[in-house]
Amino acid sequence: MKKALYTLTVVLLIGAVIVGCGKKENPFEPITSSYLPTTAMESQGPTVLSINTRDGNNALYESPTYDEIVVLFDADMNPSTITTSTILLQEVEHLTTPLTYTVSYDKASKKATIKSPNGWDDDARYLVTVTTGIKDIHGHALDGNDNGWVDPQDFYREQFTGFTTTTAAYDVTPPMVTMANPTNDAIYFSTTDSIEIWIFDNDSVDRASITQDAFVLTKANGQVVTLPAMYVEESFAPALYIVRFRPLATVLVDSNDYFFTVKTSIKDMKGNMLDGNNNGDAENEFLDRERIKFRTYDPRNGGIPTQATNLRVLSTAYVDANRGLVIRFTRKMNPATLNTSNIKIYNNSNYTDYIPGSITILPDTMGVRYSLENYDGSGYLWVSRLVRDTAGFYLDQNNNGISGEAAYTTGEGTFQASDDLFASIAYNSGLEMILFNDMAEDGNVGWTTRGTTPQLWHRSTRSVAANPNNGGLYAWHCGVDADSSYLVTGPTAVHDTLMMPEIDLTSYNIYSNCRIRYDRWYRTDGAADACRMIASTDNGANWSTVITWSGTDTPWTTNTSMGLNGYLGTKVRLALAFDTDAVGNVWPSEGFYIDNIRLVVY
């Protein structure tokens, strides 16, 4: 049987090599990882074919006392290794209490027999563990889970009940990862998001085993990346723990590939190690680590792309009073392939009467603007299958997983469309590109503060629930959460400023509109107390006021925005300046809240 398995393995490996010579559609290949904690070793050991009572009913009776448990192996065993030290018999309710029993082995039948000279307890549940201390006549240790590998927990376990037992079954099911963000093979994972892992066990996860060391983040080149602080949510404990790592904005780099690994050192309270491949067995680290590969994007460097596996044209939209067509792709593109040879617009459905135009590559390289000349508003767009992303993959517009295909007819007569895009287009509303996005949920994504000591601007959970558009737990707040005021110790004027990172709009003057969108709520005690949105084009040396808020705003004002068209073509820094006099500043004057901040162009 082993020989047959080795032959099959060789055949499969040869097949894998042949298949591997074809076109690779997985954008992560070829990739190596430095986190290979162990090399899995193939097992040549024997396995347990079955384990049962002699009469086959899986139950042990107090009378007759001659009832026995029989273990059947698939190989000739070394009798000296089959003892009460290598085949363990325990009562589930009293695991540490030794039992009196015997173990014998019959070479002819390859069976080990467990007997209890004092009889069996009808009220008990018994656990039999066949350990790796058992070896065959060639010295190979037991492959208890029959997976063909040497594993740390390579024993075989079975449970038997007495005739009247009510004892619950012993937990032999290992914990597993039931949900992960990012998902495996995610093409776009935001650098401002949080890594989130759900660890579940049918009984109880061992909380002490969930440590920072149980998680590893590496780049595709194998370099280990230091994870930020670990947060463990225990609301559903002990069966479920939710592990989060944040903030990631200073850890992850835009357009990079990463591996996130959950190690098998995570266990349940019975000692079962993590079952990363979800096959029901606790195996070795190489097989059972939960390993997630993903690629990043930074929403502060461009729009939020769709989560698409294959390279396709994602959307088309007109900008600049319909004088330009923005064409967006699902991935960052190779700029050299985005030209008028590969992207054209025609007046006619048979793709004649070419409409001249010029192509400008968008700053995030995920699309182009086709500037139109003499265009009447309806036509036909063609994008060649020869455009490529930064990893070298061609367009896969027919979304069948094979990129760069020409049209063809199969042997069965089925027509397969090419990967070229042919699409009719007409005037529509503009497509917004997001240049800065902060929902206040993932720590500080680049803001800086200055002013009063102590500084009042901070991420707060106070009053956030009243925002119908909150989408999370936090908002930015200039005030004191503890007493619902903005009173600093003693009657003191407040002059606090929250400053956004500088946004480079020098390449975005191809757009006609720039706006900042946000939700806000404020309450101040007089006209002298106000919050202003201010802007600077010299990185903070000089500021001008965009808008001023004062008095009371009830309830939250959501999805509001301010035009910033005058800053297109410049580098701009926005800030929120909260200034007061030294009078009042006490409850119910809570100060200023802002959430869901997004800077867009279109």
So what's the pLDDT on residue 150?
66
C-alpha R_g of the chain = 33
Phi/psi of residue 394, nearest 5 degrees: -80, 170
Domains of the chain: 48-162 (2.60.40.1220), 176-297 (2.60.40.1220), 313-426 (2.60.40.1220), 434-601 (2.60.120.200)
Q: Which two tokens stand for residue 339?
A: 């030209």
pLDDT, mean of residues 55-65: 69
Q: Which of 534, 340, 558, 517 is nearest to 451 (CA)?
A: 534
| Sign, Cα dihedral of 43, 273, 260, 396 | positive
pLDDT, mean of residues 369-389: 79
Which residues, in sequence order, are bridge partners of residue 550?
A: 530
Per-residue pLDDT of 349-361, as tens digits, reads 787 888 888 898 8
Q: Is there a contact between 161 and 92 (Cβ–Cβ < 8 Å)?
A: no
So what's the pLDDT on residue 375?
56
DSSP annotation of 4: H
pLDDT, mean of residues 120-130: 89
pLDDT, mean of residues 445-469: 86
Q: Is there a contact between 131 and 86 (Cβ–Cβ < 8 Å)?
A: yes
d(CA 329, CA 316): 9
Task: Round the average pLDDT of the chain to a whole number and report it.
Answer: 80
d(CA 210, CA 265): 8
Q: Which two tokens stand for residue 318?
A: 């007109």
Q: Is there a contact between 383 and 404 (Cβ–Cβ < 8 Å)?
A: no
Q: Which of 286-290, 322-326, 547-551 has the highest mean pLDDT?
A: 547-551
List of residues 6+ apart from 241 with CB closer than 8 A: 198, 199, 205, 207, 210, 232, 233, 234
Look at the block and give the residue holding tokens 């376990």: 157
Look at the block and give the residue holding tokens 């029959």: 146
Give the helix/strand (H/E) hosting 516.
strand 514-523
Model confidence at 213, pLDDT cuts 50, 70, 90, reads very high
d(CA 591, CA 525): 9
Q: Which two tokens stand for residue 68?
A: 């026995």
Q: Whole-structure pTM over 0.85, yes or no?
A: no
Per-residue pLDDT of 461-495, as tens digits, reads 988 888 888 767 899 998 888 777 777 666 678 88
What is the SS3 assignment for 149-173?
ECCCCCCEEEEEEECCCCCCCCCCC
DSSP annotation of 361: E
d(CA 286, CA 40): 6
pLDDT, mean of residues 320-333: 81
Q: Is there a contact between 426 and 376 (Cβ–Cβ < 8 Å)?
A: no
Model confidence at 576, pLDDT cuts 50, 70, 90, reads very high
Flag whether pLDDT at 3 surpasses 50.
no
So what's the pLDDT on residue 391?
73
Q: Is there a contact between 506 and 569 (Cβ–Cβ < 8 Å)?
A: yes
pLDDT, mean of residues 257-264: 88
Instruction: Report how far apart, in Å, the C-alpha atoms of 588 and of each of 480, 525, 530, 581 are.
Output: 11, 8, 15, 16
DSSP annotation of 226: -
Name which of 136-140, 173-177, 178-182, 277-281 the model is least confident about: 277-281
Per-residue pLDDT of 21-51, as tens digits, reads 333 333 333 333 334 444 445 667 888 999 9
DSSP annotation of 577: E
Flag whether pLDDT at 117 surpasses 50.
yes
Q: How many CB atoms are located within 10 Å of the residue 301 CB? A: 18
Look at the block and give the residue holding tokens 């009371």: 552
So what's the pLDDT on residue 86?
92
Higher pLDDT, 415 or 68: 68
Percent of the chain with pLDDT over 90: 26
